[in-house]
Structures are given as structure tokens and as C-alpha cells.
Amino acid sequence: MKRNVSIIGAGSMGTAISILLAKNGHSVKMWSPFKEEVDMINSVREHIHRLPGVKVPDVVVCTDDIEESLSDSELIVLAVPSQTTRKNARDISRYIKDKGIVVTCSKGIEEGTCMVLTEIMKQEIPHARVAALSGPSHAEEIARDVPTVVVAASEDKATASFIQDAFMSPQFRVYTNPDVIGVELGGALKNVIALCAGISDGLGFGDNTKAALMTRGITEISRLGVAMGAKAQTFGGLTGIGDLIVTCTSMHSRNRKAGMLIGQGKSVKEALDEVKMVVEGVATTKPAYELSLKHDISMPITTEAYNILFNNKNARQAVGDLMMRDKKHELEEIIPDSCWKI
């Protein structure tokens, strides 16, 4: 069924989602606060800075008028940096109809409040039905019809199903999941681990090191998630291990790239300036660390990432400290000492 869809944000993900939904037959309006970006998409039919060589269908209309972009919308997609979610949600709130559906495809935790994005959206748009769309999904590949599989997460089954129906295509498969906190934490926290995977690459370490970071990384992500009410099974799925794999290994990963530059000796600022795009893992590391303290959860990789980013700790020393932590049982939360044969 054809829907009227509004995309808030015309960066790489906003543009990729616009292309996908237009190909699915929906009427798509995209909003950007930058006139240059609006003019480029409407005239060149391409985001030459973010998705060069990918045509934006003629049916996609881009505007810098927020009210116009949201007129008659049945589905609103927030494709903005996680740390601007609150402002953007507040700005669009008055234009959202009662029980309108707003879905975020960003991944992060808000600095200061330590809220995931759907929690922010509930605060700022209390009359809307909110959801998250997450999973291993680089914009560069979505826009080029590379087969991609994601999860629509909402506490309301009808909302998740609505999003599933709107997004599903032969190239884009959507599952549903009611575990919103698990889906959001998996998507946000894997960026911290991906930064560390990049640092490992930048230091010249190998596949053994990265595999260890990813495996122990998903362990601490799941540990925090369960403490916050998430389902452990979610972290074994697309928005847990799936998203972690793609972000730690892909050439498209901004977090991995920034981490590589830091591992090579550049400052955090120098790394971010070179990447020239939002690196969600940097902003997420601080609230992730704060959540680990709040819930008294051991997250050693996240802790070392925090020390590297915010306490100027030497990255090679951080790896050494991780390796020489107190001896542990790999499955200490699952298998008690009583299971050992004497």
C-alpha cells in the first residue's frame, strides 16, 4: 500500500532510506536544514558528498521547510545524528498527528540523560507511536540495493508491522521485535566496540585481536542490556552480533575508521576531522560508561575506550591492561564453579 512518508535528515542514511521507500512506491518527502543539500538533491538527483553515483528517484522531494515535509505524513523517519534526536523530535512534535508513527534509524545513547532514542522520542512526542529500525545496514549498500536485513522494534505490534510492511522489498527484509531497549542498546553499544576494533587495526594487531574484541564486546553489551531489562536473545540477533560484525569489519564503518586513526596516533579531534562524518561511537562511549557504573556492570572494553577517548590513555597500554585483568571464567554468569569436576 502506498504511504506518505517523511524523512527527517538528508545525510547518507536519510537519502538511502528515501531511495528505498520511493522504489517501494511510497510518496517521499525529505527534509534538510541545509539549502545547499536541498538544491543538490532536487536538481542533481544525487547526494554527491554522501552517496556519489546513486540516483535519487524523481518522486523524492527535498525541502528545508519542516512543516511542508511533514504535511499528510503517515510515517516519519528520523535519520539524524543521535545527539540531535531530542532537538529534531521537539521541532517536529507539533506537526505529528495523534498516534502518528515515528521511527528512528539512528543508533546512540544521549549524553547527559543516558537515554536511548525511543525514550527521548516518547518525551518529546508523547502523542506519537515510536519505534526503532536497526541492524547491519550501511547506507552505502542500502542505496545500491545490496540485500540487507534489519529489525523494526516497537512495544506495539501494529506499529512494528506497519513499518515492516512499508520497508520490505526484495532487497530489504525486515523482522519485528518487541524488545526495544535491547535493539537500541545493541545498535548503540556496538559502535563503541567498533571504535576499539579500529584502534586494534591502527595499532597493527591482527584477526585474533579483533575476534576477541568482538566476542567479549557482545558479552559486555548483553550484560548491560539484560541489567536494563533487555532480552539476552536479542544480542545474538541482527541488532546485536549482526550489527557488531558489520561495524567492526566494514570499510564503510565510520567508527572503525576513526578508531584506526586513533590507533595510528592521531588525537580524537584529528580522527573526527579526517572522517568528516558523525562517528556515533565517540559520543556513545561516555553514557555507556556511565550506565555501566549506574548498574554496577563490568564492561572492561567500554571502560578502556572511555579512558582512551576522554582520559588520554595510551591505546597500546589499554590493550595491555585488558589482557592482564584478573583471571576469569569465560561463562561466569552462566556456569557456576560447582559445575567443575573435582
Q: Please tell me which residue in 190, 210, 257, 286 is annotated as part of the active site.
A: 190
Instruction: Identify the helix (H) or strand (E) that includes residue 30.
Output: strand 27-31
All structural domains of the chain with their residue ranges: 4-178, 181-323
The CATH code that applies to domain 4-178 is 3.40.50.720
Of 111, 108, 126, 109, give the one whose Cα is nearest residue 13. Answer: 108
Q: Which residues of the chain have pLDDT under 50?
A: none
The single-letter code of the amino acid at 213 is: L
- What does the pLDDT read at residue 337? 72
All three cell numbers of 184:
537500541
- The Cα 138–Cα 78 span in angstroms is 16
Burial class (CB in 10 A: 0-12, 13-18, 19+), 284: buried
Instruction: Identify the helix (H) or strand (E) that includes residue 297.
Output: none
328 is catalytic: no
- What does the pLDDT read at residue 218? 97
Query: Domain 181-323 has what CATH class?
Result: mainly alpha
- The Cα 68–Cα 31 span in angstroms is 9
What is the pTM assigned to this prediction?
0.95
Q: Which residues pair with 8 in a beta bridge?
A: 31, 78
